[in-house]
Chain A
Amino acid sequence: MTIIADEPVPEPQPGFLALALRNRSFVVGALLTLFIAGMALLSFFWTPYDVTKLVVADRMLPPSSAHWFGTDQFGRDVLSMIMVGARASIAVALVAVVIGMGVGVPLGCWAAARGGIVDEVLMRFNDVVFAFPALVMAILITAIFGPSAINAIIAIGIFNIPVFARVARAGALAIWPREFILAARAAGKGKARITAEHILPNIANLLLVQGTIQFALGVLAEAGLSYVGLGVQPPMPSWGRMLFDAQTRMMVAPTLALFPGLAIVITVLGLNLLGDGISDVIDPKLRRQR
């Protein structure tokens, strides 16, 4: 006996990961990001050479089988320095994103939930922060309070706050008029509880995409700050600082300027592709456009 279904059986909806693994941007971005993150993790346990040891006899060697990327002006192995430098880039950019999210998202959600004067004041203040040249202010902050990784994190993190506030507010404003929010309100839930239980889970994707973008921008900003000597301080290796040291030695050792730059490009490219991939998967409208 056969059963004839009244309605077509709905196809099972593939999960996020299944969709994501079919997205080229996501796969390439995830692989590049994992590669850099893995390199940073590995550097805690093993690097080809010790980056704190100076071997004057091996100064500025070209790439070879012993030193794949060559050595710098103190005879340090460039590959090892790039591996250790990944830590600084990731740590600074990641903590700056956490600061931006930690302060910006509650502010944005608050503005969306309250509306009116609270919203207006918060958004105008956002405009003010956006009007400041971020890099100049980061340089100012790190110069006045002393160049260090911590101050670089704070300087970059402050400018992440309005970005996340704006994204969270826009996302929350789109969710508030929906029926299930009305239902929650009818059930007597307060605005704070609705934000935590219903708004946040629904804007998490947006925040994740923005997070990868700000992470990538943070890596670029950290490299810039280190390049002008205001980020991570020597002897701790950082990609920006390595590029600064390479600039004056470009006549004799051009490869010194090549590899740290490539490391930055791979990191930023990986994060941007990852962000693009995630937003493709979660937003079918965007997917159609690509």
Chain B
Amino acid sequence: MTAYLTKRLLIALVTLAVASVVVFSMIEIVPGDPARLMLGMNATADAVQALRDQMGLDQPLLVRYVDWVSRLLTFDLGKSYTYNVPVRDLVLERSVVSLPLAMIALALSTLIAIPVGIFSAERRGRLADTISMGAAQIGVAVPNFWFALLLIYVFAVWLHMVPAGGFPGWSAGVWPALKSLILPAIALALPQAAILSRVTRSAMLEVLGEDYIRTARAKGMPRNVVLWHHALRNALIPVLTILGLQFAFLLAGAIIIENVFYLPGLGRLIFQAITQRDLIVVESVVMLLVAVVVLVNLLVDISYAIVDPRLRTRR
């Protein structure tokens, strides 16, 4: 167990280190002077020089890299050029939209996909299986932002049940805030649920063919106990892998959905920073997202060891 976790942890740290070099060099490969790029062509030479000083662009590359990384480690993400506030404050302010959105979407997707996957696997080849897997096949093909437009048309424009976009803030009350997150969460969740249900079904089919399932059935265990306890636990590894990837995707991948609904989340923050060429925000937030992905993958690796005892003894 310790050896397995040590190896996973080392890989995560190496990934982070390499990723930080890649993110840092992005600023180096932008065409021309980064400060000039951020300020635009009409800026005075003084203004450009002032920004170069603030970003430390006149210092040697290595010094700047070490400086940037050591500031990141203390969660000092720099100061946004366009908003003129610390990036950390921006991130915290936007996370209260993006985190609940990602969690609601993930919960929805899991609650739909796992029962559907198990249900189809149990009825393999029958009509119910064909219909639900056909629906999943279509769900995978639907672009989430188009699905979002359809949802807006039906539930906001036509039925007036929820707002078509925007976010009132949590200070406006929990219900109004949640209401504006419902459509985006559904739009994000459905294509994810389609993928997850297919993965769950094929993992379950693999497990249901095993001898221990036949044994469990032969000794008279109730059907549901065999399905939900014996089979699902063994089918969990691929399901967990996809879940981990999906959570990471939902945090950053909501970028287009947040644009559709004008939600002030992390995705929209980074999108606006990119279009306004606020490279300080871009650099810090991209690095933060990468760190979250690496952390989630590490947690998934650890959870493998929890659901599969064989991994604990392997090297």
Binding site for B on A (CB under 8 A): 124-125, 127-128, 131-133, 135-137, 139-140, 143-145, 216, 220, 223-224, 227-228, 243, 246-247, 250-251, 254, 257, 260-261, 264-266, 268-269, 272-273, 276, 289-290
Could you tell me the distance between the alpha carbons of A88 and B15 in the complex, rounded to whole angstroms?
A: 35
Question: Which residue in A131, A144, A224, A228 is a CB contact (below 8 Å) of B19?
Answer: A131
Q: Are B143 and A224 in contact (CB under 8 A)?
A: yes
Complex interface residues of chain B between 277 and 315 (CB less than 8 A to chain A): 277, 282, 286, 289-290, 293-294, 297
Q: Are B15 and A124 in contact (CB under 8 A)?
A: yes
Residue of B nearest to A257 (CB): B149
Q: A131-B290, A243-B149 are in contact. Are A228 and B256 (CB under 8 A)?
A: yes
Could you tell me the distance between the alpha carbons of A286 and B148 in the complex, rounded to whole angstroms?
A: 34
Sample of 8 further A-B pairs with CB below 8 A, known A131-B19, A276-B137: A128-B19, A131-B294, A133-B248, A133-B251, A135-B252, A250-B153, A269-B137, A289-B206
Residue of B nearest to A144 (CB): B30
Question: Which residue in A131, A140, A216 is a CB contact (below 8 Å) of B282?
Answer: A140
Binding site for A on B (CB under 8 A): 11, 14-15, 18-19, 22, 26, 30-31, 124-125, 137-138, 140-143, 145-146, 149-150, 152-153, 157, 202, 205-206, 248-249, 251-253, 255-256, 259-260, 267, 270-271, 274-275, 277, 282, 286, 289-290, 293-294, 297
Tally of contacts, chain A with chain B, CB under 8 A: 123
Could you tell me the distance between the alpha carbons of A124 and B43 in the complex, rounded to whole angstroms?
A: 42
Q: Are B297 and A131 in contact (CB under 8 A)?
A: yes
Residue of A nearest to B156 (CB): A250
Residue of A nearest to B252 (CB): A133
Chain A residues contacting B297 (CB-CB under 8 Å) are 131
Tell me the interface secondary structure of chain A in the complex.
helix
User: What are 24 A-B contacts defined by CB distance under 8 Å?
Assistant: A124-B14, A127-B11, A128-B18, A128-B22, A131-B15, A132-B290, A135-B252, A135-B255, A136-B286, A136-B289, A137-B286, A140-B26, A140-B286, A224-B143, A227-B145, A243-B146, A246-B149, A247-B152, A250-B149, A251-B157, A268-B140, A268-B141, A269-B141, A289-B124
Q: Are A128 and B248 in contact (CB under 8 A)?
A: no
Q: Are B143 and A220 in contact (CB under 8 A)?
A: yes
Chain A residues contacting B152 (CB-CB under 8 Å) are 247, 250
Chain B residues contacting A268 (CB-CB under 8 Å) are 140-141, 143
Q: Are B143 and A269 in contact (CB under 8 A)?
A: no
Q: A139-B255, A289-B202 are in contact. Are A264 and B31 (CB under 8 A)?
A: no
Residue of A nearest to B154 (CB): A254
Q: Are A145 and B31 in contact (CB under 8 A)?
A: yes
Q: Are A133 and B289 in contact (CB under 8 A)?
A: yes
Q: Are B260 and A247 in contact (CB under 8 A)?
A: yes
Could you tell me the distance between the alpha carbons of A266 and B152 in the complex, rounded to whole angstroms?
A: 22
Q: Are B256 and A227 in contact (CB under 8 A)?
A: yes
Chain A residues contacting B256 (CB-CB under 8 Å) are 135, 224, 227-228
Could you tell me the distance between the alpha carbons of A72 and B86 in the complex, rounded to whole angstroms?
A: 43
Q: A124-B18, A128-B15 are in contact. Are A216 and B252 (CB under 8 A)?
A: no
Could you tell me the distance between the alpha carbons of A272 and B181 in the complex, rounded to whole angstroms?
A: 30
CB of A286, distance to nearest CB on chain B (Å): 9
Q: Are B19 and A265 in contact (CB under 8 A)?
A: no
Q: Are B138 and A265 in contact (CB under 8 A)?
A: yes
Chain A residues contacting B290 (CB-CB under 8 Å) are 131-133
Chain B residues contacting A216 (CB-CB under 8 Å) are 141
